[in-house]
């Protein structure tokens, strides 16, 4: 079976341990290399400044902090993003509503489909 994300590097930022492991496993099964998962904003920003990736899956809220500073840095670099959140899309600032989003609890197949459509190289 062809891997949908072969050769890509995907940053995973998620503070819930089991969700982070699940996302990591799904991304690996699609053939990508996972950077992370990272569960805190500042360490994630440090990694993002040192490394390059082809995409990122970001939990909107990490231990009470919002992910927006990191999302902004990645968007400036042209990195495609998927946001994960337990909140309704309307609760996001308007800037981020246009980004691909998955609602928690995550459904594996929905994450697979969205990762492939968002990160697959054309």
Q: Where are the domains of the chain?
A: 9-119
CATH superfamily of 9-119: Response regulator (3.40.50.2300)
- Cβ atoms within 10 A of the Cβ of 32, count? 24
In the sheet with 9-13, reading across from the earlier edge strand, the strands are 33-38, 9-13, 55-59, 81-85, 101-103
Q: What is the pLDDT of residue 1?
A: 41
Higher pLDDT, 63 or 47: 47
Query: What's the mean per-residue pLDDT of the chain?
Result: 93
CA dihedral 14, 16, 22, 24 (to 10 degrees): 30
Mean pLDDT on 41-69: 96
Mean pLDDT on 65-81: 97
Q: State the pLDDT confidence band at 110, using cuts at 50, 70 and 90.
A: very high
Which tens digits make up the pLDDT trace of 84-101?
998 888 889 999 999 999
The secondary structure of 73-100 as a DSSP string is HHHHTT--EEEEESS-GGGS-HHHHTS-
Q: What is the pLDDT of residue 3?
A: 65
Q: Which of 19-28, 56-65, 113-122 has the lowest mean pLDDT?
A: 113-122
Q: What is the pLDDT of residue 122?
A: 45
Higher pLDDT, 117 or 121: 117
């Amino acid at each position: 079976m062809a891997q949908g994300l072969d050769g890509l590097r995907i940053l995973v930022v998620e503070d819930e341990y089991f969700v982070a492991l699940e996302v990591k496993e799904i991304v690996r099964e699609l053939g990508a290399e996972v950077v992370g998962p990272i569960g805190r904003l500042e360490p994630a920003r440090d990694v993002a400044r040192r490394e390059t990736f082809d995409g990122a899956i970001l939990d909107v809220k990490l231990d009470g902090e919002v992910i927006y500073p990191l999302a902004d840095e990645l968007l400036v670099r042209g990195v495609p993003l998927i946001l994960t959140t337990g909140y309704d899309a309307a609760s996001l600032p308007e800037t981020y509503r246009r980004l691909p989003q998955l609602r928690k609890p995550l459904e594996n197949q929905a994450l697979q489909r969205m990762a492939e459509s968002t990160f697959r190289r054309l």
